[in-house]
Homo-oligomer: A and B are copies of this chain.
Amino acid sequence: METTTPNWLKKRADLSPERTALVFNNESWTFKEMYMMAEKSAGKIAGLLQKEKKRAAILLKNKPETIWFIHGLQLLGIQTVFLNSRLTAGELLFQIQDSEADLLIYDEDYSKTADDLNRLYAELQMISVKKLLEGPVSEPEIQKEFAFNEVCSIMYTSGTTGKPKGVLQTYGNHWWSASGSVLNIGLQENDSWLCTVPIFHISGFSILMRSVIYGIPVILMEKFDESAVNRLLKSGEVTIMSAVSSMLSRMLVELGEGNYHPHFRCMLVGGGPVPKPLLESCKERDIPVFQTYGMTETSSQIVTLSPEDSLRKLGSAGKSLFPSQIKIMREQKEAGANEEGEIFVKGPNVTLGYLKREEANRDSFKDGWFSTGDLGYKDEEGYVFILDRRSDLIISGGENVYPAEIEEVLLSHESVLEAGVTGIANPKWGQVPYGFIVAEKPVTEEEIISFCRERLAAFKVPQKIIQIEQMPRNGAGKLMRRHLTSLLT
């Protein structure tokens, strides 16, 4: 029997109408008010779409309206395609067309990108937030229930080869992600979750879902700003925060010798391991760091390490959350303790698969287990250590950067014969991409970088281009990206 629950925001507004749902700058909204805003937004959107339309893309900022629209789409039963605002028009176009989105809602600030998109794809129906809010309201037909197998959201992610793939996230996936987290860190009456990470990433969107499921406020910031964050964490208004390690370093520098309020009880740090000196500084200041491992395909965290283990199990991501499982496979068999292998995960928070990618889905799922492509091991106590993110993934300031995608652009330059990209440690961003090329004709670093800038989001553009004689390849001719680092002089 398929699981269904009442529509979450509607139910929450019925159960806790007067509790605070959202705080943004100096304004706040209760769940009842949030529901009214979402219902109104649903009415605005319903007027634009024909009945059979079922997918809308959003190119929005961390602002209250974004939350109204996301919930508005859910009230209508329309799937939301979350677009990363850092991408170029060309990159966005691919995701919009691939997802067959019927509508694009964009923030005024992205009008230039919207114009570019319009030039590239005139058939796409698009509307700015401002215009949408000024438009007429229809009577929306509200989805009273959520079926757990229904797709709620689509977020794009890349892989070893080829184009980005749309990860299908169901209502069930988001519910189970929230359940796994609450059984790990608990739920207190005074809880509130600070969201400074982008809502278009699963790290941000999952905070919105937890807020309505748990009945706790989201404290939303348009952008991460260490001094504003520190003020909040000192005030006692925030009890939980999601961060990546580069944010945490900047916060500690700004904090100096200070401390956070004792109400602050959970700093959830994802997007790669937290360096030991940083963990030690946090321990000195009694900052409770929960290291975590997760991905778009697991609807956020799937493995989390509790603070009491953070130094004892230095570098570990912890154990899989209650509803989930993790195993390490090596030569078709489950690896023993401390044996490296590929990380597989299973659980009701794991995606159904990629949109329209039969081959990728066949490759990724084995007997109900999802192959992450990441490498790691479990120690004798079962704690998971991540060795290498899949496909030599580079994580730069919390954004996933896929070498293959940049290599494709490099190779499209007429002077480039071979290309390889790898991540280089960087104090501010954690890692940044470096490009290595074997040139066919003479070409300068500036030429290549500006070529990339036209085609790639800023965070994907290689910081350096290094010309080499020969790409490091293994016997089978496969590029050994990890060996590129040793070619730096």
Band of interface residues on A: 20 to 34
Asked whether, in the complex, the Cβ of A183 is within 8 Å of the Cβ of B215, the reply is yes
Report chain B residues within 8 Å CB of A324.
5-6
**Pick from B5, B322, B348, B352: contact of A15, CB under 8 Å:** B322
Is A149 in the interface zone, CB < 8 Å from B? yes
Encoded as 1 (CB less than 8 Å from any B CB) or 0, chain A from 82 to 104 comes to 00000000000000000000000
Of the listed stretches A21-29, A185-193, A434-442, chain B binds A185-193
Residue in B closest to A148 when the chains form the complex, CB atoms: B3
15 contacts between A and B (CB under 8 A): A3-B148, A3-B172, A3-B348, A4-B368, A5-B323, A5-B347, A6-B323, A6-B324, A11-B322, A182-B183, A182-B187, A183-B187, A183-B214, A183-B215, A186-B189
Which chain B residues lie closer than 8 Å to A183 at the CB level?
182, 187, 213-215
Answer whether residue A364 sits at the interface, using C-beta atoms and an 8 A cutoff: no
For window 321-344 of A, CB contacts with B under 8 Å fall at: 322-325
Give the chain B neighbours of A215 by CB distance below 8 A. Answer: 183
Partner of A186, one of B11, B188, B325: B188
Residues of B within 8 A of A172 (CB): 3
Complex A-B, nearest 8 residue pairs according to Cβ-Cβ distance, in ascending order: A186-B187, A5-B323, A3-B348, A187-B187, A6-B325, A186-B188, A15-B319, A11-B322
- Provide the residues of chain B in CB contact with A348, threshold 8 Å: 3-5
* Residues of A2-36 whose CB lies within 8 A of B: 3-6, 11-12, 14-15
Q: Which of B1, B4, B368 contacts A149 (CB 8 A)?
A: B1
The answer for the CA separation of A352 and B2 in the assembled complex, in Å, is 12
